[in-house]
Structure 1
Amino acid sequence: MTATHAGLPGGVAISHLSVYDWPAADGACGGTPHMHLACSEAYVVTGGRGAVQTLTASGFEVTPLEAGTVAWFTPGTIHRLVNEGELRITVLMQNSGLPEAGDAVLTLPPEYLTDPETYARATVIPSDATEEERARVARARRDLAMEGFRALREAEGPQALSAFHQAAAALVRPRIAEWRERWRRGAEAASAATGAQLDALERGEYPHLADAVVRSERPAAHGRFGMCGRLDVYEN
């Protein structure tokens, strides 16, 4: 019996994103700047127009987005989506959706990054709150993250960005075992399945072909308040 993987191809995950149209302090509308620590992420723009602002050790950049654009970035890229008109995106996420399941740290000012409890108080959206209250919290944390993002952009030298990296890594460290298990069930299992299939084919065997299946899925949730906008999310 060859190894199998039941999730989406390659252990990725997808969500549909309608980027927030809330104006921020700089006059631009859009989402919450944040960084992933262990996952790459890709945007497939399906409608509207806008941009993704990014900040790395190489500096600040702006990548225009319009229907048909595919843009992606690696861990350590601070990114902020800007909505210039009904921007809609299909997001491809590494490691079975880990970017929306914990692998993100918002660019809050340093005093909010001191420990997981302090960070959670500033970022968690109460699941039992009203729609209006969840929107208020999502917008407030976006605005707070914009303060930190602006400070990082304006800082001279690499010290501020390095300090943010250090604080972010410390915040997520207690969750690494949980992330590792998600990776093992997803990307590692998918890779192992391909290796087993290639080994079998090289021997002239093909038992996995008789086990072929077709799967489909509808969103498990609609309009969830995410970091960058309202999300339609899938379980895989």
Structure 2
Amino acid sequence: MVIFPGGTGVSGLEVYGWEAADGCHGGSPHLHTACTEGYVVVAGQGELQTLTPAGYTCVPLRPGTVAWFTPGTVHRAVNHGGLRVLVVMQNAGLPEAGDAVLTFPPEVLGDADAYRTAATLDPGDPEGSARRRRDLAVAGFQILRDHLTRGDPEPLFDLYRQAAELVRPQAAAWRDIVAAGPAAALAATSRQIDALVAGDGGHLREAEVRKLDAPAPEDRAFGMCGRLETYRLA
């Protein structure tokens, strides 16, 4: 099996242009519990709004910008016009397995069934339910941002505790995903270096090229931040 570099995931993202209650156009604020995520901006203009214990920040996004953020960073992609991003995700497969947690209000985050209901899209109305999910996440985001700007990080720490509890039932299974992806890529590189130190370049004879085309427009999913073109790399 040929693993994509580093066991990462790659998706094309067209950030939602939907207006939220605060006048910003964009997607659903959320965090990742075990993955670092990177944005490579390929078109348009926008900003990345983030919340961490250090406070609220806003990173301008324009073509050529590369921004990345570690687990626990609450992030919200805001579209100022035509914003398209190439998303590079650590630990390919983990976000799809539940690594991401949306910033719903505390009463929803504290009830696993209520959270699952609010986070799940309605197959009969994917766009409408994606909008409702976004609006609920923005409501929670605003609470967090307001407290942080007043110097109070406790609601953010509460979110971290609730997020850890939400993902706890499935977290053990993530070890297999990491073992098959980034850990396997690291092990393969270690073997190749050992071989080269010994003067053995036999693995170079296994050289090959792989290619995937972009998914068809009708196959783009309604993701948390926008319409997704997910490349199935494994």
TM normalised by structure 2 equals: 0.94
Q: 1:73 is matched with which residue?
A: 69
Aligned to 2:160: 165
Whether the 8 Å contact between 1:220 and 1:235 is mirrored in structure 2 is no
Aligned counterpart, 2:178: 183
> How far, CA to CA, are the matches of 1:47 and 1:217 in structure 2?
21
2 CA distance for matches of 1:200 and 1:160? 51
Q: 5 Å matches for 1:1-236?
A: 6-126=2-122, 128-129=123-124, 133-155=125-147, 156=150, 157-220=152-215, 222-236=219-233
Matched residue type, 1:227: M
Mean Cα displacement is larger for which, 192-201 or 99-108? 99-108
Q: Percent of aligned pairs with the same residue?
A: 52
The question of whether the paired residues in 1 share the 8 Å contact of 2:93 and 2:177 is answered with no
How much does 1:220 deviate? 4.9
| Cα displacement (A) at 1:113 | 1.1
C-alpha offsets along residues 16-36 of structure 1, whole Å, 9 cap, x if unaligned? 000000000110100100000
Normalised by the size of structure 1, how large is the TM-score? 0.93
Query: 1:217 Cα shift?
Result: 1.2
Task: Give distance in 2, aligned partners of 1:9 and 1:185.
Answer: 13
Cα deviation for residue 207 of structure 1 reads 1.9
Counting matched residue pairs gives: 228
> Separation in 2 of the partners of 1:112 and 1:219?
36
